[in-house]
Amino acid sequence: MQAFKLRVVCVGIKAVIVTAVVVAMLLAQGTSASAQGIKVRVGRTIGGSGFHIPSYVAMDKGLFKAEGFDAEFIGATGGVLVRAAIAREIEFVPIPGGGSEAMLKGAPLVFVAGESLISQWTLTTTPEIKRVEDLKGKTLGMGRPGSADYSEVVVTLGKFFKMQPGKDYKVISFTAETDRIPALINRSIQGAVLSFPHAARAEKEGMKILVRTGDYIPRLGGTFLTHKDMIREKRDMVKRFIRAMAKAADYIKNDKKGTLEVIQKYFEIDDARVNEGIYNQVYDKFAPEIPPDLLRDLFESRTTPELGWPAGKPLPDIEQFVARDLLNEVLKEMGRKVSK
């Protein structure tokens, strides 16, 4: 009887130990999964972009991680990133120009969070170029047709200076902005489309900013889009992403030192004065909001004859291209003012 009782007790203890081990393993797996976070791929262009500083901050300063993400950057050209978003190979892509053009052609994409509220593109030239008309017959370096920088400068030169690519100036395509500066210095090209950070570097090398496209075209820059199915299938994940981007915009305004560290890393600029100059130009120009007037300006800038939009064809209802309700829901939860 005693032996029986002992056996029962021993078996019971063994069962408890086995159960405890199983529970511990499950808890460890859960903790590990939690520690790893939700896998998410975030698009970025090759080479640093001033439009995307909030996403760099969110990545490097732990804001994505704080929202439960195990995030990684996927670097590619704007066109490749938009196609990857359509194919659901990348969850979040910051390409408003190419994205809006794709949406107008029926792509199942929708904007979810803003970054820059101003245009940061410049047409930076060699010092002997004194005015835009001096570029006639010259060669400009920019992204591929359909990229944001290409579209914006072609529209600006065509609409405001009556100059057309191929007819009035030549174009050489460069994948990365970083490759355009040496070409300028070597006089292989006479002008280059550069965002503020890279233009600042070029100025240091004796080049000059001839045109700021923001003086001519109102601009949403770096606005993130995602596949429409993400809103339905992974709503909470999209909300977390929006919240991280909102926090990144706040971080940039409030933590100059930390933001300068990010600028130095992603633009590989060791000159503290240049980095500070970049920060001072953009620190208060980022926000997660997507203002309706700037959204309309974005789509109107893509519906021009220069980009192949039929003359006289009206815009569709562009609010269908932004997850306004979801964006506003997050902003309200954060105590922010929302766009209607």
Residue 125 and residue 112 in one domain: no
Q: Is the pLDDT of residue 12 over 80?
A: no
CB-based contact 245:93 (threshold 8 Å): no
Residue 188 lies inside a defined structural domain of this protein: yes
- 261-283 pLDDT, tens digit each: 999 999 888 889 889 888 988 89
- 92-119 pLDDT, tens digit each: 999 998 899 999 999 999 999 999 988 8
Q: Domain containing 186: what range?
A: 121-213
Taking alpha carbons only, the member of 97, 203, 211 closest to residue 147 is 97
* Residue range 48-75: mean pLDDT, rounded: 96
Q: Is 321 left (phi over 0), alpha (psi -120 to 50) or beta?
A: alpha
- How much is the CA Rg of the chain, to the nearest whole Å? 25
| CATH number of the domain that residue 165 is part of | 3.40.190.10
* Residue range 313-336: mean pLDDT, rounded: 95
The torsion of the CA quartet 200, 202, 206, 208, rounded to 10 degrees, works out to: -70
How many angstroms separate the Cα of 150 from the Cα of each of 10, 86, 246? 76, 21, 28
- 131-168 pLDDT, tens digit each: 999 999 999 999 988 777 898 899 899 989 999 999 99
Rounded Cα distance, 220 and 326, in Å: 19
Residue 77 and residue 105 in one domain: yes
Q: Is the pLDDT of residue 11 over 90?
A: no
- pLDDT class for 293, splitting at 50, 70, 90? very high
Residue 187 lies inside a defined structural domain of this protein: yes
Residue 114 and residue 243 in one domain: yes
- pLDDT class for 306, splitting at 50, 70, 90? low
Residue 45 and residue 81 in one domain: yes
CB-based contact 231:322 (threshold 8 Å): no
User: What's the mean pLDDT when you consider all of the chain?
Assistant: 87
- 198-209 pLDDT, tens digit each: 898 899 899 999
Residue 316 and residue 269 in one domain: yes
Residue 305 lies inside a defined structural domain of this protein: yes
Residue 67 and residue 195 in one domain: no
Residue 97 and residue 241 in one domain: yes
Q: Is the pLDDT of residue 305 over 80?
A: no
Q: Is the pLDDT of residue 1 over 70?
A: no
Q: Which residue bears the tokens 């370096």?
A: 141
- 227-256 pLDDT, tens digit each: 999 999 999 999 999 999 999 999 999 999
Please report the pLDDT score of residue 303 as a whole number. 81
Number of domains in the chain: 2
Residue 2 lies inside a defined structural domain of this protein: no
The torsion of the CA quartet 154, 144, 280, 58, rounded to 10 degrees, works out to: 140
Q: Which residue bears the tokens 């929302």?
A: 338
Residue 163 lies inside a defined structural domain of this protein: yes
Residue 113 and residue 226 in one domain: yes
Q: Is the pLDDT of residue 59 over 70?
A: yes
pTM for the predicted model, two decimal places? 0.74
